[in-house]
Amino acid sequence: MADQDIYDSPTPIQAGLKCCCPRCGEGKLYAGFLKLAPKCDRCGLDYGFADPADGPAFFVMSGVGIVVTAVFAWVEIMYQPPVWVHFVTTFPALIIGCLATLRPVKAWLVASQYINKAEEGRFESLGRHDYDPRRL
Ligand SMILES: [Zn+2]
């Protein structure tokens, strides 16, 4: 019986926004700010499969950076404020924006890994490029 038949699994977006287990939707995903728990405290799903690597940081830096830089540029062109205004608005916006979105984005990527059964690629053959044992 598949997991989907037993559990009312959330979508990856829902699991990401709630930072919860991608299988049951109730257990906690994190054991710290960004440290994953070893397993779900409700359904027991082992989070060993989860390896989002640098994905969350890349998406958060890119998304928040583009939005905040666009607002910074718009404010600079429209109002030309003194530089201290940017220091007290732009830098906190970057830091708070990244910290606020990192957990849900990481949870979303972990849930996507679980639902799509994504894992590291493997070679089927370590032989030569033109070697096919079925042709012998
Ligand atoms: Zn669970």
- Checking if the pLDDT of 1 tops 60, the result is no
Span from the CA of 7 to the centroid of ligand 1 (angstroms): 9
Span from the CA of 27 to the centroid of ligand 1 (angstroms): 5
Span from the CA of 63 to the centroid of ligand 1 (angstroms): 29
pLDDT tens, residue by residue, 51-69: 888 999 999 999 999 999 9
User: DSSP string of 80-110?
Assistant: ---HHHHHHHHHHHHHHHHHHHHHHHHHHHH
- Mean pLDDT over 81-98 rounds to 95
Q: How high is the pLDDT of residue 120? A: 76
- Mean pLDDT over 100-104 rounds to 96
Span from the CA of 28 to the centroid of ligand 1 (angstroms): 7
Span from the CA of 73 to the centroid of ligand 1 (angstroms): 43
pLDDT tens, residue by residue, 16-45: 999 999 999 999 999 999 999 999 999 999
19 Rama class: left (phi>0) / alpha (psi -120 to 50) / beta: left
Nearest to 10 by CA among 126, 87, 133, 111: 111
Alpha-carbon gap, residue 129 to 43, rounded angstroms: 44
Average pLDDT, whole number, for the chain?
89
Q: How high is the pLDDT of residue 3? A: 60
- Mean pLDDT over 99-116 rounds to 95
Residues sharing a CB contact under 8 Å with residue 52, sequence separation 6 or more, in sequence order: 106, 109, 110, 113
Which residues share a beta bridge with 46? 39
Q: How high is the pLDDT of residue 125? A: 64
* Domain boundaries defined on the chain: 3-118
pTM over 0.85: no
